[in-house]
Amino acid sequence: MSVLVDSDTRVVVQGITGGEGKFHAEQMMDYGTNVVAGAVPGKGGQEVNGVPVYDTVHEAAREEDADASVVFVPPAFAGDAVFEALDAPLDLVVAITEGIPTQDMAKVNKRLSEVDTRLIGPNCPGIITPGEAKLGILPGNIFESGDVGLVSRSGTLTYQVVDNLTSRGIGQTTAIGIGGDPIIGTDFIDALELFEADPDTKAVVMCGEIGGEDEEEAARYIAENMDTPVAGFIAGRTAPPGKRMGHAGAIVSGSGTGTAESKINALNDAGVPVGDTPNEVADHIEDFL
Amino acid sequence: MSVLVDSDTRVVVQGITGGEGKFHAEQMMDYGTNVVAGAVPGKGGQEVNGVPVYDTVHEAAREEDADASVVFVPPAFAGDAVFEALDAPLDLVVAITEGIPTQDMAKVNKRLSEVDTRLIGPNCPGIITPGEAKLGILPGNIFESGDVGLVSRSGTLTYQVVDNLTSRGIGQTTAIGIGGDPIIGTDFIDALELFEADPDTKAVVMCGEIGGEDEEEAARYIAENMDTPVAGFIAGRTAPPGKRMGHAGAIVSGSGTGTAESKINALNDAGVPVGDTPNEVADHIEDFL
Amino acid sequence: MRLHEYQAKSVFADAGIPTPDATLASSVEEVVEAAEEIGYPVAVKAQVHVGGRGKAGGIKLAESRDEAEEAAESIIGMDLKGYHVDRVLVEEAVDFKNELYVGVTMDRGEGKPVAMVSTKGGVNIEEVAEEDPDAIAREHIDPAFGMHPYQARKAVYDAGVPRELARDVASVLQTMYQLWDDRDASEVEINPLMVTEDDEIIAADAVMNIDDDALFRQQELAEMEEETFEDDLERKAGEYGFDYVRLSGNVGIIGNGAGLVMTTLDLVDYYGGEPANFLDIGGGAKAERVANALDMVFSDENVDAVVFNIFGGITRGDEVAKGINNALEQFDEIPKPVVVRLAGTNAEEGREILNDELVTVEETLEDAVQRTVEYSEEEAQ
Amino acid sequence: MRLHEYQAKSVFADAGIPTPDATLASSVEEVVEAAEEIGYPVAVKAQVHVGGRGKAGGIKLAESRDEAEEAAESIIGMDLKGYHVDRVLVEEAVDFKNELYVGVTMDRGEGKPVAMVSTKGGVNIEEVAEEDPDAIAREHIDPAFGMHPYQARKAVYDAGVPRELARDVASVLQTMYQLWDDRDASEVEINPLMVTEDDEIIAADAVMNIDDDALFRQQELAEMEEETFEDDLERKAGEYGFDYVRLSGNVGIIGNGAGLVMTTLDLVDYYGGEPANFLDIGGGAKAERVANALDMVFSDENVDAVVFNIFGGITRGDEVAKGINNALEQFDEIPKPVVVRLAGTNAEEGREILNDELVTVEETLEDAVQRTVEYSEEEAQ
C-alpha cells in the first residue's frame, strides 16, 4: 500500500510543453504514472507524448477526470498555477518549481486553509510510490517497493538516504519530498500522520534540515501520536547563523532558532534516533524492521 | 424566549464617543440593554454614560467579557470596525452605519465565511428582543414582548408593521432589521432559520423590498423547511427599473430581476400570504395565532 | 455615479486598454473638425446616460464631411429619452470581424464580484443572459485575493474566445478587474470589444459606474461628475442630501426611511393615485430638512397634493411638526394640499403641535394616503 | 537582497515615513560638507551590511567640524567585520526621549506576515524577544486581505505606545506593511523609531530586505543592488548562478542539491575536516557549470582539497564526469586534489569515464569525504 498516490492517480502536468515539463512528463509516464493531460494556456488542442493538452486545469480535470497535478511552471507564474489547480479543484497538487516568491506562497497558504486540496512543495522533488507512480522529478530507479515511509525537505539528500536503504534491500511505501522553502503545503506532521495511518508503513525516515521549527514540532507530534518508529537525519550541523544554505528555508536565524542541534535534541527527546550519516539512518531503520 | 439577544447579552458600542453612538448607547441602556463597554481608538480610559471606553474592541471584549457589538462608526471606517469586531472575536456584530462602500462589504462578507461571528446589517436599525435588550436604533416603546418574530430589510417600515401588530396586542419575540444594502451579513434565510428553531416564535413577519433575489430564495426556504407560518410584505411595487429607491440594495435591474411581482409570486407559491398594506400583514398574522 | 462613455474610455485607455481615436465635441463645427482630423468613417455618439442610444437615434455613422455635419446637427441638442444632448463623442469607426463582451460587476447573491466574457458582444448582454446563458462565461472573484491571472484566462477560454485572441482579451479583463477594484466601481463593461481583421482588439464602448458610497475616496472620478446633465429636481435633491427619484404621477410623497417611503408610494398606487416622486428625508430629520423636502415637492409642477409620512424612531414627531409648521407659515397660501401622518416617537406631541389650518392631519398611514389621493384627484380636475 | 540603510531610508521617506536629514558621503571632505550643511550634532554611519555597526566602531557622533572630520577618517576605509567601508551616511542626530521598534517580517511557522511593535526600541529586538517576549506586540496579517487599519492600531495599543503617539505610529506601521507587500520584502524594520521631546516620531535606522526570488518584479529595487560591497567569491557565485556560502575551513565542497551539500559539509566536519564553502550547482548541471564550480573552489586560496559529490536525479553522472574531465584537462597541473563521488542516474557510466589520473574516484559518500579530509590534512602541512 501507499499514501496519496498510486497507479490509479490521474495526473495533469502543468507546463507540459516546457522543456522540464515535457522531459519529466515522459519520465513519469515511463515509470508508469497515469499522466492523463497537460495544461498550458494557449496550447490547448496540442498533444505531448500522446497526452492531450488543455488551456486550463479546470478543462483538463473535467475532460480527463484528473485528480492530481504536477507543476513545472516558471517561478513568476507558478503561484498562479497552484491557485488554478487548487480551485479546479484537484485532490493533490505537487509543485516542483523552485524560486516562487515567498509572498505568493503566503497567499497560496491562505487558500490552502480554505480548500481540501493537498499541496506538496514547492521547491520539492515530488512524491513516489515505488512501482506505482511518481509525481515529480525523483529518479525512479533508486526506489523499491517496501515497508518504509520517507519524508524529506531535501531532494538529492532523499536520494542518498533511499540509496542507503534500497542497497540493503529495504524498500519504501511512499517517499514524499516536502520541499526546502520557508512556506510549504504538506509539512512533516502532515506526512507523518499519513504514514502512521498507513498499515503497510512499518517505519519512517524523516530528513530535516536547519531553519524554521518544523522538525521540533514534528518531534512533539511523534512523541504524542505515533506508534510507527521514526528515524531522523538533520542536515546543516555546520551551517553558520544568518547564511542561507541553498534552500530558501535553510537558514539559522540570528537569534539562534532553527539550529540542527535544537532539532536533533527535540527528535532524540521524542525517542527518534538521529543518524550522524545517511548510512546510520539506514542502520536505525534496519533495527526497527 | 428570543433569538440572538437577550438581557444577558454583553454589548460593546463601537463609536460610543460620537454623537449617534453616545445617544443610542444611552437609549439602549435605558431600554435595559447590558452595555458593558465602548470602543473608540484614542479614547481608551474615558467613560461615556458610566461605561468604560477602550481603544480596541479586543481590549473591550477581554476586559468586560463582551459578546456582541453595535457599530456606529462613520462609513469610511465602518468596514474596518466590523473586521475588528469579527476578529475580536465577538459572537454578534450589529452594524447600523449606512453608506459603507460595497467593496468593503464584499471583503467583510469573505471574512464572515471564515468566522463563527454573526453580522447583522449594515445599514439596518438593529435587533430587539422586547423587554430584554435592543442593539441598534429601533424605538423600543413600539415593541411588546410576544409570539411573533419579525425580519425586515427596512427600518421605518419595520416600525410601521410592528405598530400594526402591537396596537392589536400582538407582541414580538425578536425583531431583526437585516438592512437595505446589497451585501449584508444575516439574510432572510438566516433569520427565518432562527425563528423556526425558536419554540416561542409562533408566527413570522418577513418584510422584503425590491432588489436582489433574497426574497425568492427565502420563499424556497420557507416552502421546504418551515412549519412556523410566515406572512410577508414587499415594498416597491411601483418602483421603476434602474432607479435606486433609497436603499443601495433596492433597485430593480434593467433585466427585470428584483421586481416586487417576482417576490410576491414566489412567496405566494410558498404558501406565504403577502399583505397589500402593512395592516393586511397584521391581519394575516392574527389569522395564524 | 455613472461615467460618460468618453470619461470611461479615458480611464480605460489610461489603464492600457486600446480605445478608438476620439474627440469630444459640443458644436457642429467641432464635430466636423474632429471628423476631418480622425478621418472617415466616424461615429458621432451622444454623451448622455441613456441605454439604447443607437436605436433612439443618438449614434450616427458618417462617411463624409456632409454626413458628419448632418449627424452632428441631428444629435446635438436633441432630446434623448428625456436627456438633453449637449456633447457628442466623434470617434474613429473601427472595422471589425467580431464583437466580444467583457465586464465586471457585483454579484449580490454571492456577495462577490463576477467577471464576465462572451463572444456575443454588441448586443444587450442582459438579453443574451436570458436567451442563451451559456454564451456568457462567468468567473467569481474572491475580493480578498483579487482576480488571479488564471481566472481571467479561464473566463476567456470558457467563453470560447479564439485562442489567438485569448491572451489579449484576458489581459483586458485583468485590467478591468483592477480598475473595478481600485476605483470602487460597481460595474465596468466593454460592449462591444471589437476584434479587427488583424486580430487587434479595441473597446468600442465603455461603461463605468462608481459606487456613490465610495466617492469620498475616489476624488479624481468624483470630479468627473457633471451636474449639468441631470434632472433639475434630482440635482436639487442631491444638494439637499435627499434620496429622491422623480416619477410620472401627481402625488408628492415625503417620508423617512426607504422602505416606508416605497410603501407609501405603493399605497398611493393601491388607492388609485399616481406617485410623483420618492423622497426619503432620512433619519433624525430636523426642521430645516423638513422645509427643504417641502420645497422639493412644491417645486415639482406635476405635484397636485403631498403626503408627509413620518414614523419616528430617531426622528421625533414634535420636531417634524415644528419643521412643517415653520416651513408652511412662510407661505401666504399653501401651494398644494399637504396631508401629514405622524407615528412613533413623540407622535402625539407632534400631532398636537401641527397647525391644522395649514395641513390635514391623519392618524393612520392608510387614511393619510387615501386622503392625499382624494386631494390630488380634486386638484387635477 | 538587503538594502543599505540609506537606500531603505529613501524608500521609507518616499512612502511618507519621517526620516532624519541625511547625505551620503564617500570622502572626508564630503562628510564635513554634509555635516556643515545639516548642522551639528551629526551621526556618521558606515553603510555596510553588518549588524552591530555601533559597537564595532562603524557609527560615530560628531558635535563639531573637527569631530566630523575625525569620525570620517576613522570610518571611511575601515574594515568592519570583513566588509570594507566605502561610504557613510551623514545624518542629523535627533534628540529623543524614547525609542520604539516597528517591523514586519514573515512568520514561517504561521506562513503569514507578522507586524511587530515594541516600546523597547534601540536594542537588538531578538534579545528583547528572548528576555521579555511580552514587550513585543505581534499582529499576524492575512496576506489576502493585507493589514486592516485596526490591526495597526491594535499592535500599537497592545505594545503600550502612549496614546498621543498611537495614531502616528500606527500610520507608520501601516505604511511599512504596504511597503513589505508592494516591494516583496522579507523584512522591514525601524529600530529605533525615535520619539522626540515634541512627540514627533522619526526613523533613526531602517532595514529593508527583499525576497531574492521576487527581484524579477522589483526592478527599481533590484537596480539598487551594489555588487562592490560583496565578497569577491560570493559575487562570482552570483555570476555563475550558484548557491554559494564561504566558510572558514580548507575543504572545498561541490555538490548538487542543498540538503546533500549541507550533509557533505557535516560529514567533512564529522570526519575531522573543516568545510571551506557550501556550493550547490543545482539540478541538471551540464559540463560548463561543472567547470565553473571547480573554478570557484580553486579560486579560494584557503581550499586545500575538494570533494565533488553528485547524486544524479535529473543530473546525469556521465555528463558530470565529462565536465570534470574537460575542466581538469585544461590544467597542466591540478591545483588541488579532487575527490569525486558519483551516484544515481548514469553513475556507473560516469565513474567509468572519469579520468583517474586527474581525480580520485570513490563510490560512497563516506569514503569520498574521508579521503578528501585526508588530502586536506596532507596539503595543509
Active site residue A284: no
The full DSSP string for chain B is --SS--TT-EEEEETTTSHHHHHHHHHHHHHT-EEEEEE-TT-TT-EETTEEEESSHHHHHHHHT--EEEE---HHHHHHHHHHHHHTT-SEEEE--S---HHHHHHHHHHHTTSS-EEE-SSS-EEEETTTEEEES--GGG--EEEEEEEES-SHHHHHHHHHHHTTT--EEEEEE--SSSS-SS-HHHHHHHHHH-TT--EEEEEEESSSSHHHHHHHHHHHH--S-EEEEEE-TTPPTT---SSTT----TTSTT-HHHHHHHHHHTT--B-SSHHHHHHHHHHH-
pLDDT at C229: 45
Mean confidence (pLDDT) of chain D: 92
pLDDT, tens digit (0-9, with 9 covering 90-100), for A105-144: 999 999 999 999 999 999 999 999 999 999 999 999 999 9
* Closest chain A residue to D369, measured at CA: A277
Question: What are the chain B neighbours of D157 within 8 Å (beta carbons)?
Answer: 41, 44, 55-56, 59
Question: What are the chain D neighbours of B12 within 8 Å (beta carbons)?
Answer: none
Q: Quick one: fold of C21-92?
A: Dna Ligase; domain 1 (3.30.1490)
C271 with C307: CB under 8 angstroms?
no
Q: Which three cell numbers stand for residue A176?
A: 514524499
CA B2, B4, B10, B14: dihedral to nearest 10 degrees?
A: -130
Number of residues assigned to chain C: 381
pLDDT, tens digit (0-9, with 9 covering 90-100), for A21-31: 999 999 999 99
Residue C240 CA to residue D80 CA, distance in Å, equals 69
Cα C111 to Cα B95, B107, B109, B113, B225: the distances in Å are 17, 9, 7, 11, 24
Residue D228 has pLDDT above 60, yes or no: no
* Closest chain C residue to D146, measured at CA: C144
Share of chain C above pLDDT 90, in %: 73
Active site residue D189: yes
Q: Return the SS3 of A44.
A: coil
Instruction: Return the residue in A22, A103, A151 with the most chain D beta carbons within 10 A, the one to mutate for interface testing.
Output: A103
The alpha-carbon radius of gyration of chain A (Å, integer) is 18
Question: What are the chain D neighbours of A250 within 8 Å (beta carbons)?
Answer: 258-259, 262
pLDDT at C227: 57
Which chains contact D through at least 3 pairs of Cβ atoms less than 8 Å apart?
A, B, C
CB contacts under 8 A, A 18-37 vs D, are: none
Domain A10-120 class, CATH top level: alpha beta
CB contacts under 8 A, D 158-177 vs B, are: 158, 163, 166-167
Residue A225 has pLDDT above 90, yes or no: yes
Q: Crossing angle, helix D5-14 and helix D163-182, to 10 degrees? A: 110
pLDDT, tens digit (0-9, with 9 covering 90-100), for A99-108: 999 999 999 9
C82 with C248: CB under 8 angstroms?
no
Positive or negative torsion for Cα C112, C118, C120, C123: positive
B85 with B69: CB under 8 angstroms?
yes
Q: State mean pLDDT over C44-67.
A: 90
pLDDT, tens digit (0-9, with 9 covering 90-100), for D143-152: 999 999 999 9
Query: Of A44, A83, A110, which has the smallest distance from its Cβ to C150's Cβ?
Result: A83
Positive or negative torsion for Cα A275, A281, A283, A285: positive
Chain C touched by D182 (CB under 8 Å) = no
pLDDT at D229: 45
Mean confidence (pLDDT) of chain A: 95
The residue from C5, C92, C189, C319 that is catalytic is: C189
Per CATH, A10-120 and A139-288 having the same topology is answered: yes
pLDDT at A249: 84
Closest CA to C311 of B162, B208, B96: B162
The residue behind cell 536503504 is A165
Domain B139-288 class, CATH top level: alpha beta
CB contacts under 8 A, C 236-265 vs B, are: 243, 245, 247, 255-263, 265
Question: What are the chain C neighbours of B102 within 8 Å (beta carbons)?
Answer: 106, 184, 186, 211, 213-214
Q: Min CA distance, D12 vs chain C (Å)?
A: 23
Could A110 and D144 be called an inter-chain contact, meaning their C-beta atoms sit closer than 8 Å? yes
Report which of residues B257 and A64 the model is more confident about: A64
Residue D220 has pLDDT above 80, yes or no: yes
Residue D196 has pLDDT above 60, yes or no: yes
pLDDT, tens digit (0-9, with 9 covering 90-100), for A226-254: 999 999 999 999 999 888 888 888 888 76
Q: Quick one: fold of D98-222?
A: D-amino Acid Aminotransferase; Chain A, domain 1 (3.30.470)
CATH 3.50.50.60 assigned to D232-380: no
pLDDT at C55: 85
Residue D242 CA to residue D235 CA, distance in Å, equals 10
How many cross-chain Cβ pairs, A to C, lie less than 8 Å apart? 39
Kindly report which listed range (B19-28, C108-117, C227-236, D336-345) carries the lowest average pLDDT score. Answer: C227-236
pLDDT, tens digit (0-9, with 9 covering 90-100), for C221-245: 999 887 554 567 888 888 888 999 9
How many cross-chain Cβ pairs, C to D, lie less than 8 Å apart? 5
A131 with A108: CB under 8 angstroms?
no
pLDDT, tens digit (0-9, with 9 covering 90-100), for C271-295: 999 999 999 998 776 778 888 999 9
Question: What are the chain D neighbours of C144 within 8 Å (beta carbons)?
Answer: 142, 144-145
Residue C109 CA to residue B40 CA, distance in Å, equals 33
pLDDT, tens digit (0-9, with 9 covering 90-100), for D163-190: 999 999 999 999 999 999 999 999 999 9
pLDDT at C81: 80
Query: Of B56, B110, B111, which has the smallest distance from its Cβ to D154's Cβ?
Result: B56
Q: Which three cell numbers stand for residue A258?
A: 532553527
Cα angle vertex D272, ends D267, D273, to 5°?
Answer: 75
Could A56 and C150 be called an inter-chain contact, meaning their C-beta atoms sit closer than 8 Å? yes
Closest CA to D317 of D339, D354, D345: D345
Could B55 and D148 be called an inter-chain contact, meaning their C-beta atoms sit closer than 8 Å? no
Question: What are the chain D neighbours of A125 within 8 Å (beta carbons)?
Answer: 313
Chain C touched by B102 (CB under 8 Å) = yes
Binned at pLDDT 50, 70 and 90, residue D26 comes out as very high
Cα D356 to Cα B267, D104, D321, D335: the distances in Å are 90, 54, 11, 15
Residue D204 has pLDDT above 80, yes or no: yes
How many cross-chain Cβ pairs, B to C, lie less than 8 Å apart? 175
Query: Of D143, D144, D258, which has the smallest distance from its Cβ to A250's Cβ?
Result: D258
Report which of residues D122 and B65 the model is more confident about: B65
Q: State mean pLDDT over B45-56.
A: 96
Residue B109 CA to residue A227 CA, distance in Å, equals 43
Domain ranges across chain D:
21-92, 98-222, 232-380
Binned at pLDDT 50, 70 and 90, residue D75 comes out as very high
Closest CA to D91 of D254, D210, D203: D203
Alpha helices in C39-162 (DSSP H): 65-75, 125-131, 149-159
Could B76 and C216 be called an inter-chain contact, meaning their C-beta atoms sit closer than 8 Å? yes
Binned at pLDDT 50, 70 and 90, residue D227 comes out as low
Share of chain B above pLDDT 70, in %: 99
Could A59 and C148 be called an inter-chain contact, meaning their C-beta atoms sit closer than 8 Å? no
Cα A237 to Cα A250, D264, D288: the distances in Å are 11, 10, 30
* DSSP code, position A140: G
The alpha-carbon radius of gyration of chain C (Å, integer) is 25
Number of residues assigned to chain D: 381
pLDDT at C316: 81
Q: Min CA distance, C29 vs chain B (Å)?
A: 35
pLDDT at C241: 87
* DSSP code, position B141: G
Residue C91 has pLDDT above 90, yes or no: yes
* Closest chain B residue to D154, measured at CA: B56
Q: Return the SS3 of A174.
A: strand
CB contacts under 8 A, C 139-178 vs D, are: 142, 144-145
Residue B70 has pLDDT above 90, yes or no: yes
* DSSP code, position C12: H
Cα angle vertex D278, ends D277, D280, to 5°?
Answer: 140
Domain ranges across chain A:
10-120, 139-288
pLDDT, tens digit (0-9, with 9 covering 90-100), for C291-334: 899 999 999 999 999 999 999 877 788 888 988 998 888 888 88
pLDDT at B272: 98
* DSSP code, position A274: B
The residue behind cell 405603493 is C266
Q: State mean pLDDT over C204-225.
A: 94
